[in-house]
Every structure is written in C-alpha cells, then in structure tokens.
Amino acid sequence: MEQFKKNPVFQKLLTLNLNPNNYAIFGSGPMYAHNLKNEFHDLDIIAREDAWESAKQLGTPHPSLLKHGLEIDMDDGKIQVFNKWISDNWDVNELIDDAEVIEGIRFVRLDKVLSSKLELSRTKDIKDIETLRIYFKNL
C-alpha cells in the first residue's frame, strides 16, 4: 500500500498541509492505495472545517462538476477538493470519520467507493465497479 506515497500527485497533496483529520481521499484514490488500480488521473478529496478553509486559500471554489456542492481545482486539475459529495445521500463528516487511515492519510472505505461509482454510473467507472465487485466477492 505504500506505493501511493511515491506518486507525484500524492506528494503534492502532502505539501498542501491540510489537517489530516478533516479530509479523506475518495474517487479512485482508495483503489490505488489498495493496489486495485495501477494509475489515476486526478485525486478527489472531500474536506471539511479547517481542511476546506485551507483549500480555499489555495484555489477558488466553484460549483462542483459532480453537480453538488463546491470544488476547488489545484495542480492543473490533478487535485480536486470537494466540500460535499455527489448528492445529499452522502455525509462528508461521516465519510471522513469512518475513513481508513493508511500511512497517516484518510481514504474513504472501498464499499463507499463502490456505492459512489454505482450512483454516478459513468462510462469511465465501469471497469472500477467490476474490479471492486470482484474484490468484495473474494474477501
């Protein structure tokens, strides 16, 4: 699982000095941390309280492309920080509090990643959904 710390996008995230108790990596990042994905194109972060306030000092919030809440794009869009997730069905506080901590970084649990990808139902998520279903089937 330590491979993720060698990735330049993760290294950039660590330089942002966000409070590690108030953000968690979502999207495909948790799959990458669990070696279920070999690469990713951007890092989706959910943030609250001082982590969100710190992110606002580093970029300008705008309506989320996920159509719920606000997002801040950093590092040419490679890091996206969200104050909410894809719908009112998702409680950011609960997701962060329940996140798995790996090497000091919070990652949203894989079952939530699967649920999120199923809710979004984007073409680009089909392979991830299948990978996660196989992962859970083999547990």
pLDDT attached to residue 59:
95
DSSP state, residue 2: G
Please name which of 46, 42, 44, 40 lies closest in space to residue 20, comparing C-alpha atoms.
46
φ and ψ at 5, to 5 degrees?
A: -70, -20
Q: What is the pLDDT of residues 55-103, one digit of tens each?
A: 999 999 999 988 899 999 999 999 999 999 999 999 999 999 999 999 8
Domain 2-109: which topology?
Beta Polymerase; domain 2 (3.30.460)
Output the pLDDT for position 2.
59
Is the Cβ–Cβ distance between 72 and 58 less than 8 Å? yes
Q: How far apart are the first and last CA of the chain?
A: 17
Q: Count Cβ atoms within 10 A of the Cβ of residue 41 and give its class: 0-12 exposed, 13-18 middle, 19 or more buried.
A: exposed
Q: Helices in the chain by DSSP H: which ranges?
A: 8-15, 29-33, 49-58, 92-97, 110-120, 126-137
CB atoms within 10 A of CB 104: 8
Statement: residue 111 has pLDDT above 60: yes
Q: Which of 126, 26, 27, 109 minimizes the C-alpha distance to 134?
A: 126
Q: Give the range among 6-15, 27-36, 104-113, 122-131 with minimum mean pLDDT.
A: 6-15
If you search the block for the tokens 């993760």, which residue do you land on?
A: 10
Rounded to a whole number of angstroms, the CA Rg of the chain reads 14
State residue 3's pLDDT score. 66
Per-residue pLDDT of 16-63, as tens digits, reads 999 999 999 999 999 999 999 987 778 999 999 999 999 999 999 999
